[in-house]
Chains A and B, each alone.
Chain A
Amino acid sequence: MVAPELRNSTVHLITEISIWACVAVSLHLVVGYAGQLSLASGAFLALGAYIGARATGFWGWPGLLTIAVAAVVAALLALLIALVIFRARGLYFALLTAGISLVAHGVIVNWSSVTGGAGGMSTGGPLADGGLPGALTLGPVAIESADDYLVAAVGFLAVLVLGLSVLMRRRVGESWKAIREDDVLAASVGVDVVRQKQAVFVLSSVLITLSGVLYAHWIGFVSPESFTFAHAAFEPIAMIMIGGLGTVAGPIVGAAVVAGLPEMLRDAEHYSVLVYGVLLLAVVMVAPRGIVGLVTTGLAAVRRRLRRGENS
């Protein structure tokens, strides 16, 4: 038996990690396949969260409509950005996408008639009415309790991982892998590299936006402090780097570490930033392929040693 309080906090922690893992897995598409350091996740996470909070709290939309609208809006916005942004490379790309997240944060704070400004906005409608957080309804299913959100978050992550692994075996996924390996060579065999990178960015942005919709409903309340640059744009990148670039497990492990740390260091929350800063530094210097890379290299070494032991 687990004490109820401990159980609650475990449910909360796994839900939180799962949602961030969705963000990191989605963002990993751009970083891993288009090979670009994107810091735009903060903007799309906020987009999804605010559309979600508005739609459920103020317009009373069913969840499926909210999800569809959020996806379409995100796709159009991402396409518009992608048309311009892939002219830039490397540092410029990172700076441009960072700018997008910063601008989004500014919009949230200042466009208070729509976003609630610094005070934020609830999925339960106007704060003055004191309504309860609204449920995310998916057809006949209403996601409402903490356990519901746990299932939804883990389920979304599972669908993402499965869906992407199927996609990566299709023609389009093979093209992305080719681009990741060598984009000039990929172009030379007929892959439309720019268009494919744009497609990756759009897909990634839509998935991050949907994670945002889920996040807002789970928390029940959105405010600018959830979408600061450090939290919503930098942390997902840190997750990918710490977990390991180039694998499915990497972003998930990274999300567990980065999103889990503040919970584990709750008494010293301010130090958690310091801890994962140091962790990030350590990973970059000691294990450039992240924790997952470190583990697979370690396992391979152990296996080699065992085999040598058998042979002798």
Chain B
Amino acid sequence: MSTTTTIAAPLLAAEDVEVRFGGLTALSGVSLQVPAGASVGLIGPNGAGKSTLINVLSGMAAPTAGRVLWRGSPPRQWRLGAATRLGVARTFQATRVFREFSVLENVRIAALHARRSVDPAEILDSLDLDHRHHTLAAELPFGEARRLGVALALATAPEVLLLDEPGAGLTGRDLDALGAAIRGICAGGVAVLLVDHNMRFVMGAVDRVVVLEGGRVIADDTPAVVQADERVRGAYLGRRSGDAGS
């Protein structure tokens, strides 16, 4: 089946993106598409360029070559903030919340520049934080602080949500709660790009997976196909496939 003859342009896309830091090439010729309403996973070993790609897609970093496309055309300016106001929100790898504000105030602040009016209470409810409205963000347990990070991004009423390792450091119930929340977000029609180390977590949450290794895309397919891919298994799981074992 051809993937190039799409009827409508994908909502958000990276086209031949290259990012170099001095002599180091973090991304090279990376193309990735996030169609409206899709849920895409982005996996790869440490240093594969996942965060760099999220930074480029969210406008936090400018590619040294290639471009970001929004609704099929390059935006006039693609910076963090401007991208959010167009409809691309992101979370951060490290827990990042407005620590000196209550949980509810956090979401209200995040909703100040939302593209349409949102109900902060409803968002907190969807992330199982409804009992925490008046807790100071700095005092939240780790798992809930991570979910508040997702709530902040959601409060901007995005069309695409870039989740940068939201499950990092989470276990058990917290990870389950996050997984449920992400599936809920997708079901609500928001396109999601989910970066995570936990392969099982990603595979269970998305309907397409892109695999990065050494700054290049080595696979882009359904979770089942990607999981069976020898190169992916070799790169991601640290196992060398067959003859490449030496």
Contacts and interface: CB of A to CB of B under 8 A. Distances in A.
Given A190-B85, A190-B156, A191-B81, A185 B112 contact: no
Contacts of B98: 178, 181-182, 185
A185 B81 contact: no
A190 B90 CA distance: 10
Interface string B55-95: 00010100000000000000000011110110001101000
Where chain A touches its partner, the secondary structure class is: helix
B95 to A, nearest CB: 10
Nearest to A189: B110
Contact of B92 (A171, A188, A192): A188
Contact of A189 (B82, B99, B112): B112
Interface string A172-186: 001101100110111
B80 A187 contact: yes
A191 B113 contact: yes
B100 interface: yes
B88 to A, nearest CB: 10
Looking at chain B, what size class is its interface with the partner chain? 20 to 34
Contact of B84 (A174, A177, A178, A187): A187
Binding site secondary structure of chain B: loop
A208 interface: no
Interface residues of A, number: 17
Contacts of A174: 108-109, 112
A193 interface: yes
A188 B109 contact: no
Contacts of B58: 188
A218 B169 CA distance: 61
B153 interface: yes
Nearest to B110: A189
Contacts of A184: 60, 80, 92, 96
Contact of B112 (A181, A182, A187, A191): A191
Interface in A137-194: 171, 174-175, 177-178, 181-182, 184-193
Nearest to B90: A188
